[in-house]
Amino acid sequence: MPYEQLKLSNQLCFPVYTASRLITREYQPYLSRLNLTYPQYLVMMVLWENDSITVSEITTKLLLNTNTITPLLKRMEMNGIIHRSRSQSDERQVLIKLTEKGKALEEKAAQIPLELLKNLENENISMPKLVDLRDVLNELIQYLQAKNETLMLEGD
């Protein structure tokens, strides 16, 4: 192959993408007990941290677009775990609030992160390595976010 840099095994994006898909798959048995999809679980984690926030705050925290999150929130409301309402101060904003059913899921979900990490740990990958990986990925995400924000500002 004339271009070594084009080998799949030399890419950063492929292992990150593949690991993300496979880890998401690992969550499925845990989340199916809660009747949640992985994206819904992410929304719930945001709401368990800060209940009664706007859709735009959720999209910012999850790095998602409004058109991605809106159908998800509608399904969650139909399942009775959140309530959507217009903001009293600004009708353009939609507030998302946990229902009692949504709040009750928090206790059931509390063990999922640790159980998942224990499930990923093996003779080659220790808990400290997994924590280090998370920290490095968070640093990469912060760098890329800042870079993209700078590019967007320069484009104005």
Give the separation between CA 112 and CA 121, rounded to whole angstroms. Answer: 14
Rounded alpha-carbon distances, angstroms, from residue 144 to 19, 65, 80, 119, 140: 19, 17, 36, 29, 6
Residue 125: inside a domain, yes or no?
A: no
The two tokens of residue 150 are 């700078």
Cβ atoms < 10 Å from Cβ of 47: 22
Residue 34: inside a domain, yes or no?
A: yes
Residue 130: inside a domain, yes or no?
A: no
Q: Identify the bridge partners of residue 85 per DSSP, sorted by sequence position.
A: 95
Residue 148's pLDDT is what?
85
pLDDT band at 156 (very low <50, low <70, confident <90, very high): low
How far is the first Cα of the chain from the last one, in angstroms, to the nearest whole number?
Answer: 41
The single residue listed with the structure tokens 């353009």 is 92
**Is residue 106 scored above 80 in pLDDT?**
yes
Could you tell me the CATH number of the domain that includes residue 116?
Answer: 1.10.10.10
For the stretch 14-68, pLDDT in tens is: 999 999 999 999 999 999 999 999 999 999 999 999 999 999 999 999 999 889 9
The two tokens of residue 60 are 């910012």
